[in-house]
Structure 1
Amino acid sequence: MHYPINEIFQSIQGEGYYTGTPAIFIRLQGCPVHCDWCDTKYTWIRADQDNVSIKEVINKNKFSRKWSFMSIKNILEILKKWTAKHVVISGGEPCLYNLSYITKILEIEGYQCQIETSGIENIKCSLNTWITLSPKQNKRPLYESIIRSNEIKFPILNKEDLLYVYDILSNIRDEKKHIIYLQPINQNKQALKMCINTCIKKNWKLSVQLHKYLRIQ
């Protein structure tokens, strides 16, 4: 099984439940959601002309659309260079691809897996994989994706985004089975204030994109 990978790097998870956890990020190429405020727009299009060698992807020193098909064996060889045991599979939209193979093998190798997804596709992964669902207004998540998720992390910029949160959660029979996070978009101060007030009122959690405050990848 091969996956189109834009980049692999080790850093600190800055969002949601695993904030502060050393992690290896595997970013897949391709995403049909196209949010205006997306900070990984270089992963949207999976064009054949951007398919390069594995070495070129590994050695990238700036964000670009370049990607490479990597086997699970290739990925494991890269991961073993680092110390983190938490692997975040992101994108792009990672659930465009069947992640059952990679998540099962990574678990056998001693890694904890986390998938960050918009929920627009069926989530195919191991049972133990932690699912971070981040619903976007322009493409509503599948009900099956909502139910499968462990945490739901809503990006917030304005009151319309909060109304969308209530709309999504109104379709969940038992909201308490999920950890609910509100995350202000791009460190917007008004959005942050709104998120703090709502989290206190609803007893939800705040996600502040710690990596952006620390100015790390």
Structure 2
Amino acid sequence: MIASSPAPRLILASSSAYRRALLARLRLPFEAIAPDIDETPLAGETPTATALRLARAKAAAVAARAPGALVIGSDQVATLDGEQIGKPGSHAAALAQLQKMRGREVVFHTALCLWDGRIAAPEAAAQVEDVRVTVAFRDLPDAELDAYLRIEAPYDCAGSAKNEGLGIALLERIDNSDPTALTGLPLIALTSMLRRAGVAFFRH
């Protein structure tokens, strides 16, 4: 384990307000820097592989600009019947997603990477993990789905529903080991990674 002091610079490789809000719960000083990478899935790539690759790529891209820092990268891929469900980007696309998912179970892969810039070897610098969440959507009529979208406009969310907001009313069940994973940053896994990197959360 790396010594806990001096505390390294902590950076969230994301422009997501949801991830910033989650990380702020840990009460650690941090910066947020957008990684600016191509997030297009590769041909034949599994959802798990996509999420893990992008989480690592985001962290690595920012780490290259911030030597010696601890950089957090995260990516989420929603899947139904093995097919990836991305961010809808529009009302029509979001409604089509919700129609497809109603009455069904959707698996969300939230991949996490902590890149330790104090470690020279890239293969040793990164801790990575895929946190899976299974979500059962209620079988709701089109009118309710449309009304929800007009109220919350979750067009930047994979799966077209904000579980931390009104979108929870669309869900019948959430099965997971980390309640923050579905929102986009698995804090239980992250705190384990940060502890292994020598970060202290409680000081006397």
Shorter-chain TM-score range:
under 0.3
TM-score for the superposition, normalised by structure 2: 0.26
TM-score for the superposition, normalised by structure 1: 0.25
**Higher RCO structure (Cα 8 Å, ≥6 apart):** 2
